[in-house]
Every structure is written in structure tokens, then in C-alpha cells.
Homo-oligomer: A and B are copies of this chain.
Amino acid sequence: MITALAGGVGAARFLTGLVKLVDEKDLSVIVNTGDDIELFGLHISPDLDIVTYTLAGVVDEEKGWGFKGDTFQCLETLKKMGGESWFALGDRDLATHIFRTSLLNRGWKLSEVTAKITGAFGLDVRILPMTDDKFETRIITAEGSVHFEEYFVRNGSRDDVLDVEFFGADTAKPAVGVLEAIMDAELVIVCPSNPVVSIGTILAVDGVRDALRHTEARKVAITPIVAGAPIKGPADKIMWGLGLEVSAFAVAKLYADFLDIFVLDAVDAAEKSRIERLGIEVKVANTLMKSLEDKVALARVVLGN
């Protein structure tokens, strides 16, 4: 039993390699839902969809999200009606949002809907939203507070981050299966995702951090920061805004209370001893994952094969 904590694109790419080495049925993925947003009354779960589409092999690999070859007829028409169109909603992608929203409105839990959707995509991996409850990551800038997706997509992460707020974190309970997936695992993998807004959100859900501290699983994290910069996304602006160093070390420190092993990129090998001083074992590897071979090789390092 392996359980991964995942954000969006980086996590999904890593998991593509992992499923070449392990049986999908033995893998659970706990996915960040802090980016979930309602647009046009539709419940959109960006990270759940990225992980699902990627593992199902239908993702637009260049962008890392959405369906390969999707069209945007509906969004174009919504735009003409005066609707907001900053969030790309492909026609096939919309089916997921419409299907999810219709089931949620009928009283299904997000975790139940997710199981139904991943099943429809033929996945045997168990994909779990971190919570079925409202949890919204908001970014505070000099302009005020905006939803993470508004900051990241609409504003293109331009403004400096002053703070990050997890709206709903006080009351959000882990979705059914989340704590068990951590407690029952032999290996917990923290994917190379934003340590604050992708992994930090999962860690903020009631009981998750405790479960990570108490599980007997080996806990391995892969650095999302290479040579002082994130592979993708605004982790640098966010870490900087929170007064954190933008380094693999700073990420390791955020996980130090539960982590056993940190996988550091070869270009950052100089940080090895500094991380080891946190009581964390360090493995040095190529973490860039340009090809499927890269992904599988990285997964092999994480599995300790």
C-alpha cells in the first residue's frame, strides 16, 4: 500500500512514472482541493482533474491540464454572453465539471463523485480529495484577498504575495479514507508540489499531520524546488511572501516533523548536509522528469528499488 499527497501538474507527472512500477490498485492519492472553485455555478477541482486526466492518459501533456485536443466552443460562447472567461474550460473538460456539479447538487460527497469519475476514466488508482468540506486557498496581495486560481490564472501570479489564507481549514474534516490511507500505508510519498498551497493545504486538514507523524509508513518527499526556483507554478512568490527561503531546504523543513527521506535534485547537492541536520535522510537524483524514463527513474529512487 502506497499513498501519495498530491497537488497538480508536478504530482501528476511523477505519478505517471510511479504507476509503471506499482500496481494501480495499491496506490491511493490524496489530492489538494484548496484550489477548487465555482465558476458559472460549476464545481471545478483543478488538481483532482489534472491527476485524473494525467493518469488516464487523456491530459494535454504540453499544458499539463485539460484534455488533449480539447475545443473551446462553449467558453467562446459564454464569453459572448458576458461571462468570465479567464479560466480555460474545454468542451470535454466541461463534461467533468457538469457531471461533478450535478452529483454534488444531488447530495453526493466530493469523494464519492471523484470515485465515480475516476472509475469512468478506467482508473484503478484510488484518488481521494483531501476533504469533502469547503476549503479555499486565498492569496493576500496589496490588492486584497483573491482565490488562488484568480491569483495564479487570472492575474498570472504577477502581484507580490503578502500572505496565504486557508479558508475553511478550521472546520474541514478529512474525506473518508484519507487518514486510513496514511495510517495503513507502507510508504507515503509527498509529491513534488507546492509546499504551501498544494501540500500545505492537505497538511492543514484536521488529523492529517498527526496521521503522518504516527503512521509506520516510510515518508518520502520529492523536492518541488530546483536551483532556487519551482519547476512550475508560483511557489517562489508564495514562499517569499511567507518569509521562507525559496530552497529545497526550506521545503524539507516544512515537512521535518514527519519526514524520513527527502529527494533532492542533483543540482542542489550542496544542500544535502543542511537537510540531513534536520534528521532527514537525503537522496540525490534527477528530479526534472522530462521523459517517461525520467519519471520512472525518479519513482524508482522514491521506492528505494
Contact = CB atoms under 8 A, between A and B. Distances in A.
A91 B71 contact: yes
Give chain A's interface secondary structure class: helix
Given A41-B105, A105-B41, A98 B82 contact: no
B74 A91 contact: yes
Contacts of A80: 95, 120
A206 to B, nearest CB: 30
Interface in A71-114: 71, 73-78, 80-83, 90-92, 94-96, 98-99, 101-102, 105-106
Contacts of A75: 95
Nearest to A39: B102
A181 B129 CA distance: 52
A70 interface: yes
Interface residues of A, number: 31
Copy tally for this chain in the complex stands at 2
A82 B41 contact: no
Nearest to A100: B81
Given A41-B105, A91-B91, A105-B41, A98 B74 contact: yes
Which of A67, A90, A98, A101 has the most chain B CB atoms closer than 10 A to its own CB?
Answer: A98
A40 B99 contact: yes
Contacts of A82: 116, 120
B102 A41 contact: yes
A58 to B, nearest CB: 9
12 contacts: A40-B101, A41-B101, A41-B106, A71-B71, A71-B73, A73-B91, A73-B95, A74-B74, A74-B95, A77-B95, A78-B98, A94-B98
Interface of A: 40-42, 67, 70-71, 73-78, 80-83, 90-92, 94-96, 98-99, 101-102, 105-106, 116-117, 120
CB-based closest 7 A-B pairs: A77-B95, A41-B102, A73-B91, A81-B120, A91-B91, A78-B95, A40-B102
Given A73-B91, A98-B98, 6 more contacts: A40-B98, A42-B98, A67-B77, A77-B96, A78-B98, A81-B96
